[in-house]
Amino acid sequence: MAKLYEDSLSNFPTIDQCQSIGREKDTVVTDMDGTLLRGRSSFPYFALVAFEAGGILRLLFLLLASPLAGLLYYNISESAGIRVLIFATFAGMKVSDIESVARAVLPKFYSSDLHPETWRVMASCGKRCVLTANPRIMVEGFLKEYLGVDMVLGTEIAIYKGRATGFVCAPGILVGKKKAQALQKAFGETSTPEIGLGDRKTDFPFMRLCKESYIVSAKPDVEAVSHDKLPKPIVFHDGRLVQKLSPLMALLTILWIPVGFLLACLRIAAGALLPMPLVYYAFWALGVRVTIKGTPPPPAKKSTGQTGVLFICSHRTLLDPIFLSTALGRPIPAVTYSLSRLSEIISPIKTVRLSRDRITDANMIKKLLENGDLVICPEGTTCREPFLLRFSALFAELTDELVPVAMSNRMSMFHGTTARGWKGMDPFYFFMNPSPAYEVTFLNKLPRELTCGAGKSSHDVANYIQRMIAATLSYECTNFTRKDKYRALAGNDGTVVEKPKRAANKVMGC
């Protein structure tokens, strides 16, 4: 059987023989798993949807169903195995939740698995089409938004009253001849795509409909396309999971969550209850690594009338001010655009909410600086990728005592931020990582000649500090704002209108 398969593959040339010059008017049609993506298994992406949209119990259900899916896939039919994965992942799930994960979570993981040879050919063609057995709802957002794909032909899931039933619509799972039929229906009898790309025997029917066809050989060691070669960088992404879940990793994640939650509670208690000079050592004893670089300024002396220093931090998680205080060995109050009530309760430092009214906020910050040092994150919301969002310039107008601080962190299992979920769990997810780490780099205090007091505009000062921090972290500066992030991830501008009896509006972002 293996030899027959090898002989079948030999009927098509390999993709390295495909020319990618002068293809601007050509159409390329490619399979997804194993062709456009390096990995042949779609389990990791189903697992991401299961966990991010359905939680740990849904992931457990999918994991228990995966042996049956594998048995059917390799011994009976590819279609039957994928049906099991779809049912275990989607049955009863809100379609809006699936779409949210597909828009905000999956692109980051898909983009990190792009096959370089397939992308070389695909990028050279003027029109791009992807055929896949995966549910179209999972892949279409990434393919069209980030790869410029013109047409996505995938399996359609059945929906009833806004929820997925777990079954699929006719013509069923798009494999084998059904891919060829879908391609013929989409292009018609008179139009023939120039290039067809596939990696397995079930791709041959649609590949034979193309003028040229090439096989993408399985090479596990091939490096994925680097992010700088993508048509559009992925600046924003959401979800709690840091890495894709293989079946083994899914099992380890499920087993770790209850242990990790207890460990997170212990770490949070240590940070909240111990004197701040001891928190640094307690974190190290509990597996939280804190690295301090640069020389921080001494505390302000009220006896001399000296006002406090305003620490300007890049924003990675809502824990940035706490780790800044840990590095300094003293609690530094923080102004925030919003914070969940739970986070306020467990915070070991004073937090003050900004109202987003410029005059009110300016007066409040000035008053706080009269009493000592203060920390602010002028991006207004977190960004996980190596980018800095636009800095709000208000802080530069309020004081010339400005100390930039470059914050970076490392998480191996869970992200400590979210745009779509309950932000009260953010610190718990960060501390649930086996060995989370923070690096706090104090930069030199801004010279007076570069401040507003010397005649510089507040925007010039904010942009200069943004560039300083970006250079230190090797990040890229952007003009994106909180609203851009929430429109990309949550489909809104980050503001939720509340009932009249409560505050007029509450900002979700932090």
For the stretch 452-463, pLDDT in tens is 999 999 999 999
**pLDDT confidence band for 496 (50 / 70 / 90):** very low
Instruction: List the alpha helices (DSSP H) in 401-481.
Output: 426-431, 458-473
* Of 303 and 324, the one with more pLDDT: 324
Residue 200 banded pLDDT, cuts 50, 70, 90? confident
pLDDT at residue 339 in the model: 76
Using the predicted structure, report yes or no on whether residue 466 has a pLDDT greater than 90: yes
Q: Judge whether residue 156 has pLDDT over 50.
A: yes
pLDDT at 497: 46
b/e sequence 16-39, b meaning 16+ C-beta within 10 Å:
eebebeebeebbbbbbbbbbbbbb
Element (H, E) at 139: helix 136-146
Every domain of the chain with CATH number 3.40.50.1000 lies at 10-220
Strand partners, 477: 388
Q: In whole angstroms, what is the distance from residue 357 CA to residue 507 CA?
A: 13
Pairing state between β 402-410 and 437-442: antiparallel
Mean of pLDDT values over 243-257: 96
pLDDT of residue 6: 42
Which helix (H) or strand (E) element contains residue 132? strand 127-135
| Average pLDDT taken over every residue of the chain | 90
Q: What confidence score (pLDDT) does residue 493 get?
A: 67
What is each CA distance from 401 to 98, 117, 178, 354, in whole angstroms?
Answer: 47, 52, 67, 20
Q: Which residue has the tokens 């228990």?
A: 64
pLDDT at 12: 87
Per-residue confidence at 191, pLDDT binned at 50, 70, 90? confident
Smallest CA-to-CA distance from 321 within 310, 277, 480, 401 is with 310
**Residue 334, pLDDT score:** 93
- Which of helix, strand or coil describes residue 3? helix
What's residue 2's pLDDT?
40
| pLDDT reading at 220 higher than 80 | no
Name which residue leads in pLDDT, 469 or 339.
469
Q: What percent of the chain clears pLDDT 90, i.e. is strictly above it?
A: 73
Give Cβ neighbours of residue 225 (< 8 Å, ≥ 6 apart). 111, 114, 115, 116, 119
Give the per-residue pLDDT at 3: 42
- C-alpha–C-alpha distance, residues 501 and 49, integer Å: 37
Helix (H) or strand (E) holding 374: strand 374-376
pLDDT band at 205 (very low <50, low <70, confident <90, very high): very high
Q: Indicate whether 510 pLDDT > 50.
A: no
| Mean local confidence (pLDDT), 23-40 | 92
Measured at the alpha carbon of residue 119, what is the angle toward residues 205 and 172, in degrees to the nearest 5?
35
Residue 238: is its pLDDT beyond 50?
yes
Tell the burial category of 98 from Cβ atoms under 10 Å away from its Cβ (0-12, 13-18, 19+): buried
Mean local confidence (pLDDT), 387-401: 93
| Whether residue 289 has pLDDT greater than 50 | yes
Tokens of 303: 């006896």
Rounded Cα distance between 310 and 365, Å, is 9
Which stretch of DSSP H or E encloses residue 506? strand 505-507
At the fourth CATH level, which superfamily is domain 10-220? HAD superfamily/HAD-like (3.40.50.1000)
Per-residue pLDDT for 506 more than 50? no
Mean pLDDT of 472-496: 85
Give me the pLDDT at residue 300, please: 72
pLDDT score of 336: 86
Least confident of 313-322, 348-357, 368-377, 380-389: 348-357
The token pair that represents 66 in the structure block = 């995966």
> Is 60 exceeded by the pLDDT of residue 504?
no
In which band, very low, low, confident or very high, does the pLDDT at 303 lie, cut at 50, 70 and 90?
low
Taking residues 228-254, report their average pLDDT: 93
Q: pLDDT band for 495, please (50, 70, 90 cuts).
A: low
Q: What is the mean pLDDT of residues 361-380?
A: 91
Q: In the structure, what pLDDT confidence band is assigned to residue 509 with cuts at 50, 70 and 90?
A: very low
Q: Averaged over 158-172, what is the pLDDT?
A: 94
